[in-house]
Structure 1
Amino acid sequence: MKMVAGDHIQIQKYSIMPEVVEELKRMKDIGLPIAAMGLVGYLKNMISVACMGRLGALELAGGALAIGFTNITGYSVLSGLAMGMDPVCSQAFGSHNLPLATLILRRTVLMLLCASLPIGLLWSNLEPIMLGLQQKPDITRVASIYCQFALPDLIANSLLHPLRIYLRSRGTTWPLMWCTLPAVILHFPIAIFLAFNLQLGVPGIAVATVVTNFNTLLFLLCYMFHTSTCPEPLCVPLSSPPSFESTSNVSMGEEWGTLLRLALPSCLAVCLEWWWYEFLIVMAGYLGKPRVTLATSAIVIQTTSLMYTLPMALGASLCTRVGNELGAGRPRKARLASLVAMGLAIIASMVGLLWNTIGREAWGRVFTQDGEVLELTMAVLPIIGFCELWNYPQTTGCGVLRGTARPGIGATINFYSFYMVGAPVGIFLAIVLKVGFVGLCYGLLAAQVACAISIGIVICKTDWERESLKARVLAGTGRGGSTHEDQIKTKCEEEEAEFLKEVNMEA
């Protein structure tokens, strides 16, 4: 019996639908806890800011300055550097190279601890730096005190970021959320007790944040050691760890070089995007009616932070899925994962657009009752909604770049999108054409559009077979004649034979 072209298309359609459904389930299992954890982290930050507001206007201003400074100089750097372990760890779990996953975890922790030393020195000298930038002495003094008491948080984050990526890379994400939730629940009474009952003020809030992060770390470590068994990665001896390269005579310096070549561009990509939002706040202070524009910018930052939790979870899930499948030698499934995730991102972005457009007045009243601030907020939130229409796909697409060990491309795209497109457009509209804060938001929209289009082009041009071969080398399974490589080849041949068998039976 002959099979016409239409029948062939129907067979392909029915054969791929179960894979799409399975991929959606895997995305849900990995991404849902990450999104929930992001919302819980957002709640922790809101509790801290609310406590500062209760202390007084000076404490709120100083605390806000300190939070902005620590985000720019510390947390963004540690978060970005930790993402360097994303491709190696996810691909190592995909190829079942468990010792390599543990090795990259330990080296990333060591790298972050080393990076914390200059960051801590910078935080300790916040006051002279801010005074040199003509900041008010009383606000600077409060911010400096906050930073000094927050120094131990660098150690907590140097351990938390790698552990989270490690667990996510092996698909264990629900424990991440359940370990974070009780720590954040405890954050509220701890912050109240230290800041108000003991009358420590801003230092008490900083200490409460440190204690909360160490509690999260403690819960994570208890989970990992309680559930670990002898075959688990943390129990595997590392007497002869696999190298990053395909040859056996690669030095430790070259292996560290490979890790740094992944970590530094990842750090740059994260920092460039984070810093642009700080640039938005700074520029708002130079516009007319700075009280109104700065208050509106704070609402915009809170809105984008909340909206970011979903695409961040999708991007992290996609990074894990792409890395796992490439490490296992299944490039077709890695490509399918990217298509499914991007489709989800586009659907979710439309929800974000509707939220910022239809609910702009109700959302604005959550933060302010000031007529001028509310009016400007209602004017810019629909623009932020269109930003999210592009931000969701571009943030999700960054997961492909991390999962395929191409963070340098992401850093390059972020640089020219935000600083060669977004910043000039925003400054021109806000200052030259005197559009004001609305012009800065249009600059953000231009940056998001350029970034999303660029990342989409990169994903469309991705050679998945080539990325699979690169993953075998990076994950330590690319040695010629290795048993694992033969298993991957055999598995691919079996899947192809099974598909052809189904086609012949339908024919």
Structure 2
Amino acid sequence: NDFPLVLQVGEEVVSLGRIACPIILTTLLIHSRSIVSTLFLSHLGDVELAGGSLALGFYNITGVSVMKGLSAGMDPICGQAFGAKRWAVLSQTYQKMLCLLLLASTLLICLLWLNLEPIFLRHALGAGQPTRAQWTSVIGISLAFGYAILACVFTNFLGEAWGKLYTQDPDVVKLISIGLPIVGLCELGNAPQTAACGVLSGTARPKEGARINLFAFYLVGFPVAILLTFQLKMGYRGLWLGLFSAQVACVSMMLYTLLKTDWKHQAKRAEELTAAVGERDDLEDGLINDSNDER
């Protein structure tokens, strides 16, 4: 039976919640540092606010994003190895990535942020359960849609109140009140496409997610933003609408890719990835050699 019972769906939602809630809390605490810092900077002056925002952006792009990108490289391997109960592969991959992250963090002189996130989809594939993996992805993306709706409603109700927390400049407050509703619309695409990207990562297909993001944001969103902002004279609103178009394109392609996914093939592929490759039992080599067969 390809359709799970209501009880099974409920159990899956609870399982995802147990994983998601600590991660959500951790993420909120991490980002609250930037929010609090920006709030204090806003009371020092516009120049200080602009400088602090630029510094935080530079830190996130050149530091945190590099660390997160490196650590994400072990997600498909560790998740599927856990599902297949290949503890040696899990331990070796973790140790190798830890050494790489320590080296990278030393060179970048930034804090090490390593987050080994167990995803049930990877576990299910590693355990040879394609139907469960498929429904885990469906439930996860559905929950992301629910969150996106709440975020959209929240940002639309904030209005000028959010801008006044940071500055009393009427022009800045007006721009924020214009952009927030569109940001809420963007979240309708951002949340589910982020969940879908996690599914692609869990099935060891990060290249597909990267290609979709590249196409959506640089070949769709960027030209649309330029067209709306400069050609159609929509100004600031046009920039945000360009981002919205990118999110729509991205989530559409992500969902289409998942709809075309052969989950039985992915389960078989996960079994091959976690199988011994030669005498070294090198799972990374298996992942690299199998990358040409990605779907």
Paired residues in the alignment total 278
1:344-363 to 2 correspondence within 5 Å?
344-363=143-162
How has the CA–CA distance of structure 1 residues 49 and 374 changed in structure 2, closer, same or farther, with 3 Å as cutoff?
closer
Map of 2:67 onto structure 1: 78
How has the CA–CA distance of structure 1 residues 53 and 371 changed in structure 2, closer, same or farther, with 3 Å as cutoff?
closer
- 1:465 maps onto 2:279 in alignment: no
RMSD, aligned α-carbons = 2.2
| SS of corresponding position for 2:229 | helix
Output the CA distance in 1 between the equivalents of 2:173 and 2:48.
24
Map of 2:281 onto structure 1: none
Residue-by-residue CA offset, 1:457-485 (whole Å, 9 max, x unaligned)? 01101111111111112223699xxxxxx
- 1:389 maps onto 2:188 in alignment: yes
Contact 1:425 1:446 in 2 (8 A): yes
| SS of corresponding position for 1:405 | coil
The one-letter code sitting in structure 1 at the alignment partner of 2:8 is: E
1:34-73 to 2 correspondence within 5 Å?
34-50=23-39, 52=41, 60-73=49-62
The one-letter code sitting in structure 2 at the alignment partner of 1:66 is: A
- 1:336 maps onto 2:135 in alignment: yes
Map of 2:11 onto structure 1: 22
Output the CA distance in 2 between the equivalents of 1:451 and 1:67.
26
The one-letter code sitting in structure 1 at the alignment partner of 2:272 is: V
Map of 2:287 onto structure 1: none
Report the alpha carbon displacement of residue 71 of structure 1 after superposing the two structures with TM. Answer: 1.9
Give the stretch that moved more between structures: 374-383 or 81-90: 374-383
Residue-by-residue CA offset, 1:114-160 (whole Å, 9 max, x unaligned)? 4446x63xxxxxxxxxxxxxxxxxxxxxxxxxxxxxx2x2xx31xx3
Report the alpha carbon displacement of residue 441 of structure 1 after superposing the two structures with TM. Answer: 0.1
| SS of corresponding position for 2:29 | helix
Output the CA distance in 1 between the equivalents of 2:216 and 2:209.
10
| SS of corresponding position for 2:204 | coil
| SS of corresponding position for 2:195 | helix
| SS of corresponding position for 2:216 | helix
How has the CA–CA distance of structure 1 residues 409 and 344 changed in structure 2, closer, same or farther, with 3 Å as cutoff?
same
Report the alpha carbon displacement of residue 49 of structure 1 after superposing the two structures with TM. Answer: 3.3
Contact 1:87 1:323 in 2 (8 A): yes
Contact 1:421 1:450 in 2 (8 A): yes
Gap regions ≥5 residues in structure 2:
279-295
The one-letter code sitting in structure 1 at the alignment partner of 2:246 is: A
How has the CA–CA distance of structure 1 residues 337 and 12 changed in structure 2, closer, same or farther, with 3 Å as cutoff?
closer
| SS of corresponding position for 1:465 | helix
Output the CA distance in 2 between the equivalents of 1:102 and 1:363.
45
Output the CA distance in 1 between the equivalents of 2:51 and 2:150.
35
Map of 1:209 onto structure 2: none
1:41-190 to 2 correspondence within 5 Å?
41-50=30-39, 52=41, 60-116=49-105, 120=108, 151=109, 153=110, 156-157=111-112, 160-161=113-114, 164-165=115-116, 168-169=117-118
Gap regions ≥5 residues in structure 1:
1-10, 121-150, 170-319, 480-507
The one-letter code sitting in structure 1 at the alignment partner of 2:53 is: A
The one-letter code sitting in structure 2 at the alignment partner of 1:96 is: K
Normalization by structure 2: what TM-score? 0.87
| SS of corresponding position for 2:5 | helix
Which has the bigger relative contact order, CA under 8 A and spacing at least 6? 1
Output the CA distance in 1 between the equivalents of 2:146 and 2:35.
28
The one-letter code sitting in structure 2 at the alignment partner of 1:45 is: S
How has the CA–CA distance of structure 1 residues 61 and 391 changed in structure 2, closer, same or farther, with 3 Å as cutoff?
closer
| SS of corresponding position for 1:476 | coil
Map of 1:32 onto structure 2: 21
Report the alpha carbon displacement of residue 456 of structure 1 after superposing the two structures with TM. Answer: 0.2
How has the CA–CA distance of structure 1 residues 374 and 62 changed in structure 2, closer, same or farther, with 3 Å as cutoff?
closer
Contact 2:34 2:56 in 1 (8 A): no
Normalization by structure 1: what TM-score? 0.52
Map of 2:229 onto structure 1: 430
Output the CA distance in 2 between the equivalents of 1:50 and 1:378.
17
Output the CA distance in 2 between the equivalents of 1:360 and 1:52.
21
Map of 2:205 onto structure 1: 406
Output the CA distance in 1 between the equivalents of 2:276 and 2:12.
25
Output the CA distance in 2 between the equivalents of 1:55 and 1:369.
12
Output the CA distance in 2 between the equivalents of 1:45 and 1:12.
45
Contact 1:92 1:476 in 2 (8 A): no
Map of 1:303 onto structure 2: none
Residue-by-residue CA offset, 1:385-406 (whole Å, 9 max, x unaligned)? 1111111110111110110010
- 1:443 maps onto 2:242 in alignment: yes
Q: Which has the larger radius of gyration?
A: 1
